[in-house]
Structure formats: C-alpha cells, structure tokens
Structure 1
Amino acid sequence: MKILIVDDERPARDKLRRLLSQQSDVSHIAEARDGNEALQTIRAYPPDLVFLDVQMPELDGISLATQLPEPAPLIVFVTAYDQYALQAFDANAIDYLMKPYDEARFLRALQKARERLQKPVVTADHLLCNEKGRIQVVKLSDILWVEAADNYVLLHTVNGQHMLRQTLSGILEKLGSGFVRCHRRYLVQLCSIQQFIPTQKGDAQLLMKDAARLPCSRQYRSAVLSYLKIED
C-alpha cells in the first residue's frame, strides 16, 4: 500500500509513520503538513490510503476530501474532535480515529483499508508500443522520463524514444511507485533524477540522467521533494 499522512502536527505524523513502518504490506509513506500540500501530492502521486487530520490551516480535512481527484484514495480521518464524525462519513471515509488512539485501534482501521483494497494483483515490468506495425517491448526500468504529446505520451528511455497512445495520468498508474509527476506535461523516474535545482517563484528544474532538464512546477514541487526525502 502507498500511504499519505496529512497532519499539521509533527508528533501526530511521526506516530502514524512509526506504526505504518511496522507493516510489511506498506510500500511507501509520504507526508503532507496541510490540505493544500496534500492535494498536490495526491494529484502528482496517487496514494491508496490517506490518514487525514480534520483541523488544519487553509484547507481542512473535510474540505480536502470533497476535492480529491478520481479515482479517490481511501480515507481514514484522524482527529481529537468527535463532532466531525458525521461529516467525515458523508465524505466517504472508511474509518474515524479519535486521538489519542492505541495501536490496536489503528490496526483495525488499517485492516478495513486492506479489505477494501483487496483485488487481483497484476504485475508487469514492461510496456508494449506499436511502432510501424511492430510491437516494441519497453522495460519500465529503462524509462527515464515521460512527456505528454496530445493523445500520446513520449517515453524517453536509455535506448531512445517510444510513442504510446495513452494519457499522462493513465501511464502513471501503469508505471507504479518509482515514478512521480513533476509538471502537467512531464513525469519522471525518481532514480533517474540527478539534481533538483530550485529556480524563481517556487519552481525548480530536474536534471535527468540523460542530461535533460525538466521543469518542476510549484504544483508538484512538494510531492517530488517528499518522494526524494528532501525537506522543503
């Protein structure tokens, strides 16, 4: 499972991270400090499950839940206030953790998420591109970055470029946890980023292994930094 923790209090995030890190089926844990940062992260790198605080500055948890892009992740609200429970379940939350909660209560909430997420697992380590009547096998590990091109995407790989009829959001779902969106037109393989270069107005550039310089817009900056484990 890919998990996003959203809470403006560091101790609350640390507690959830500690509990989640003990679970063998949790493959990735990201954090956001407020609703706006969480929304950027979810759009750039969709999680399976969000542990979401209710009371946060600017964009609160209930409001965030109503703005999630489809397909929306599962939500477990985590709060010290019981008066939001009805609103939380109206927002399709699967559970409502009251602070302070113990490990047993946390595990019950996590098990609900596991049961909702259970489905046949399809594993693939490649994509198939139809190029001039031939089927080209492209290994996911060879893809450095991906560029949107109208109704197609252009795969930039260690062996050259390949065109695939697919949207950028659609290809991100197929590529899996090693890739993240950095711009409305680009997504990148995390291990292919060589440098993160801040620029003006909160934007940045990513220097890739093939020497390409890609824009990283403010909308996706927090998500990229989170998955690179760099403090913003």
Structure 2
Amino acid sequence: MKCLIVDDDPLMCDLLEHFCSKVDAITHVITTTSGFESVNLINSSSFDLILLDFNLPDINGEEILKAIDPKSAVVMVTSNKDFASHSYEYDQIVDFLVKPIDFPRFFRGIQKAQDFVNRYREKDNRLFIKEGNKLVKVDLEKVLFFKSEANYISVVFKEKKILTLMALKELEVKLPDFFQRVHRSYIVNLNKIESIDNNAITIGKMHLPVSQSHEKELYQKIKLLN
C-alpha cells in the first residue's frame, strides 16, 4: 500500500512513519504537517492508505476527507475523541486511533485498512467486455496491453488475445491506475513493462511505441507507482 501521513506534529509523523516501516504491506510513505499540502498531494496522486489527524492548524480533517478518493482507506489518528462517533458517517474511515498510540493498536488498524483496499482492488481488477455475442470476464492483472485496431480493441495476454468492439478512449476511463495510455493506439499494463528505451516499451518479445505527447505522463505515472 502507498501511504500518506498527515499530522501537524513532526514527532508524530516520525513515529507513524517508523510504525509503517515495520509493516510489509506498506511499501511507500509520504508525510506532511500541512493540511493544505495534503489536499494537493491527494489531488495529484493516489494513495491506498491515509493516516489522518483531525486537528490541523490550517484545515481540519473533516475538510480533507472531502478530497479523499472513496477507494482510499483512512485511519484517523487524533486526540479529538469527539469526532469518533461522527467518523462512522464516512465509509472509507476504517479505524479511529486515539493518541498516544502503540504499535499493536496501530497494526490492527492497518489490517482493517488492508482488507478495505483489497476489496476495492478485487473489483478494480475485473472487467467484462463483449467478444462477439458473449460477455467475457477479463482479469486485468494478466493483460499485457490494449491495442486499437480501427473500431476494435485487441486485448493482448501472454498466450492469447481477445477482439472487442470498443473505442480506446471509452476503455481508458474504466481501467485502474496501473494502466497508462502511451500512444494513440496503445494502453499498457505498467506492471508488465520490462524496459523503456528510445521511446519504445518492451513487454516480452514485443516492442510498443511511446508517443512524445504521452511520454511525460508515462514517466510521472511510473514514479507515482514506485
């Protein structure tokens, strides 16, 4: 999980970051002591988990919650007990930790967050597409790339491909974050990329073009997912 820690106390940020380092499921951590900066980060990137203080000097946690993607799990970490009952109005708040906290209690909250994130990932990683007269369930994690072919799209796997009547632009909005448009004719699974060199992506024995108009966005997405 990619995690954002929001707390105006630098010592608490350090403690939470230390706790996160002890959890294998958390692979990347960003910290901020500013509520406004947290909103900018949330709007410009995607986070699986947000550890959120309620009482911030510039903006309170309730305002920040409005900017958070409903697919992100939120664990409130605060000394404000009054918000505890109100927090249940937010579906993505999976736990409420009252300061001071210890690691065992923190870890229980992370386990709840991981269950929440996994449920959404399972939904996001499935897509039904039409192949001829039948609907076919596609496991998106196994897709190498999508290729536009006139009015059709080839869904390319390691051992096979499926042809469906659909526009690439229509498909693009339905895909999870690990897919990226790299060319007017290609959307690739970033997890399947083996190398990028001279504006070409290598996936297995295949080499796919990267257009200049999509190059910057591709590298930004790769950086965010790492």
Please indicate the TM-score interval, normalised by the length of the shorter structure: 0.5 to 0.7
> Is contact 2:45–2:224 with CA below 8 Å preserved after alignment?
no
- Residue in structure 1 matched with residue 83 of structure 2 by the alignment: 84
Could you tell me how far apart the structure 1 residues matched to 2:143 and 2:90 are?
36
Matched position secondary structure for 1:117:
helix
How big is each residue's C-alpha offset from its partner over 1:159-212, in whole Å with a ceiling of 9 and x where there is no partner? xxxx94158765562338xxxxxxxxxxxx9x99xxxxxxxxxxxxxxxxx998
**Which residues in structure 2 correspond to 1:145-224 (within 5 Å)?**
164-166=168-170, 173-175=177-179
Quote the residue 2:148 is aligned against. 130
Query: Which amino acid is 1:39 matched to?
Result: V
Q: Distance in 2 between matches of 1:91 and 1:79?
A: 16
Match of 1:37 in 2: 37
SS in 2 for 1:40: helix
Aligned 8 A contact 2:143 2:156 in 1: no
Higher relative contact order (CA 8 A, sep 6+): 1
Distance of 1:169 and 1:44 partners within structure 2:
17
Which residue pairs with 2:95 in the alignment?
A: 95
Deviation of 1:54 (Å): 0.5
Deviations 1:119-177 (A, max 9, x none): 44662473212133674869xxxxxxxxxxxxxxxxxxxxxxxx94158765562338x
Q: Is the 8 A contact 2:42 2:67 kept in 1?
A: no
Alignment partners' CA distance in 1, 2:35 and 2:55: 10
- Distance in 2 between residues matched to 1:136 and 1:109, nearest whole Å: 38
**1:14, distance to aligned residue in structure 2 (A):** 1.2
Residue 105 (structure 2) pairs with residue 105 (structure 1): yes
Is the deviation greater in 29-38 or in 113-122? 113-122
Instruction: Report the TM-score, using the length of structure 2 for normalisation.
Output: 0.59
**Unpaired segments of 5 or more residues in structure 1?**
139-162, 177-188, 193-209, 217-222
| Conservation of the 8 A alpha-carbon contact between 2:7 and 2:56 | yes
Deviates more, 1:74-83 or 1:25-34: 25-34
Aligned to 2:15: 15
Distance 1:212 1:175, change over 3 A: closer
Distance in 2 separating the partners of 1:25 and 1:213: 31
Shift of 1:9: 1.7
Structure-1 separation of matches of 2:19 and 2:58: 28
Provide the rounded CA distance (Å) in 2 between the counterparts of 1:117 and 1:29: 16
Match in the other structure for 2:132 = none
Deviates more, 1:56-65 or 1:123-132: 123-132
Q: How many residues align?
A: 171
Q: Percent identity?
A: 24
Q: What one-letter code is carried by the residue in structure 2 that aligns with 1:24? A: D
Other structure's SS at 1:56 match: coil
Find the counterpart in structure 2 of residue 117 from structure 1: 117
Which TM-score applies when normalising by structure 1? 0.58
Structure label with greater radius of gyration: 2
- CA displacement 1:89-145 (0-9 Å, x = unmatched): 22332111111111111011111112223344662473212133674869xxxxxxx
